[in-house]
Structure 1
Amino acid sequence: MSTLVHPLAGQWGNTLKAKAAAIRLVAFDVDGIMSDGRLYFSASGDELKTFNILDGLGLKQLMQAGITVAVITGRRSPLTEKRMADLGIRHLMQGREDKRIALQELVADMDISAAQIGYMGDDLPDLPALQYAGLGISVPNGHWLVRQHADYCTQAAGGQGAVREACELILWARGQLDGTLAPYLADAQGSQP
């Protein structure tokens, strides 16, 4: 049982907490979720993309807790491939317009049910996957229809810590937040007078 309570945990009722506790796989969109959703190009036409470092640690926390992380994006980007490789994410599905089908493929490969999947997306191409998953999460800067169908909408915007917020709330609901934060808390507690 987790003794740490995430500051936003009060927004999660028993139903939402139960959905999150069942999660074995969380899949994320990239643009608008892991990034701010804007596309940047250099004068020579090279694509640039920003990722929030807080989100990266949240993804690692999920994986350390035994939760599989997948990334499903409609675009193809070598920058996304590099970032996911740096984080150790093995399930990267790029150029996937039908994200629900991509999720169904993961369900079949992992022998899990849709109820054991979390999906985080922000735009209309994410909606079928979000509705399919047992736990759907969106962001405040997402499309209104996606937010309306999500089980939870983060306080943080996409690309600004929303992924970390979702990861920590899932870990809290599963009673695993303490374990993933323990290495950091041990050092902090050891240095107190």
Structure 2
Amino acid sequence: MTADLLQRASGVRLAVFDVDGVLTDGKLYFLPDGGEFKTFNTLDGHGIKMLIASGVRTAIISGRKSAVVERRAQNLGIQHLFQGREDKLVVLDQLLAELGLGYEQVAYLGDDLPDLPVIRRVGLGMAVANADAFVRQHAHGVTQARGGEGAAREFCELILRAQGNLEAAQSAYL
């Protein structure tokens, strides 16, 4: 974790996540009846809950639409959910106007080309370890963990650490 990443994370007031390939392993599972399912990592989920408890707002912006994602967002307490939106920067613009925040106060975690305009624009734009190589090249930082395997937890803990809240979040369980 570099000093630059910690500096960028110190002012974050909104953390935004992509879903497929970030909160999941990126695989799409389709059932014979046309339904689908996704698997989520509980470590990632608890990281998001700790981030919310520290006062950082959270959002999901996903190009796909899924009832499973809606349920996961509700379970975690994620405040803002946008699905079926490839135009992620447009969505973020609208959300920032609503919340009265600037790009420098946003952290984003993504994995593929549709995430790149947001990654390049926000104060802290990160990619997961198994993200597209071009996306990793243009991100401020890359997680050690792969999408769906703890990358979101790592991202959340970076923000918590930079804001001096990680130790308190962890020690609450001692």
Q: Same fold by TM (over 0.5)?
A: yes
1:79 to 68, 81, 90: 68
What is the aligned partner in structure 2 of residue 91 from structure 1? 80
What is the aligned partner in structure 1 of residue 103 from structure 2? 114
Larger radius of gyration: 1
SS for the counterpart of 1:120 is strand
Are 2:12 and 1:23 equivalent residues in the alignment? yes
What is the aligned partner in structure 2 of residue 12 from structure 1? 2
Using the alignment, how far apart are the partners of 2:5 and 2:44 within structure 1? 21
Q: Which consecutive unaligned segments of at least 5 residues does structure 2 have?
A: none
User: How far 1:25 moved relative to its partner?
Assistant: 0.3
Using the alignment, how far apart are the partners of 1:111 and 1:46 within structure 2? 38
Q: Which amino acid aligns with 2:37?
A: L
RMSD over aligned CA atoms reads 0.9
User: How far 1:43 moved relative to its partner?
Assistant: 2.2
1:132-154, Cα deviation, whole Å (9 max, x unpaired): 11101101211111101111100
Q: Which moved more, 1:36-45 or 1:49-58?
A: 36-45
What is the aligned partner in structure 2 of residue 176 from structure 1? 165
**Percent identical residues:** 49
SS for the counterpart of 1:57 is helix
User: How far 1:90 moved relative to its partner?
Assistant: 2.0
1:45 to 34, 44, 48: 34
Q: Which amino acid aligns with 1:64?
A: A
Are 2:19 and 1:60 equivalent residues in the alignment? no
Using the alignment, how far apart are the partners of 1:90 and 1:115 within structure 2? 19
SS for the counterpart of 2:15 is strand
> Normalising by the residue count of structure 2, what TM-score does the alignment of the two structures yield?
0.97
Are 2:135 and 1:146 equivalent residues in the alignment? yes
SS for the counterpart of 2:172 is helix
Q: Which consecutive unaligned segments of at least 5 residues does structure 1 have?
A: 1-10, 187-193
> Normalising by the residue count of structure 1, what TM-score does the alignment of the two structures yield?
0.88
Aligned residues: 174
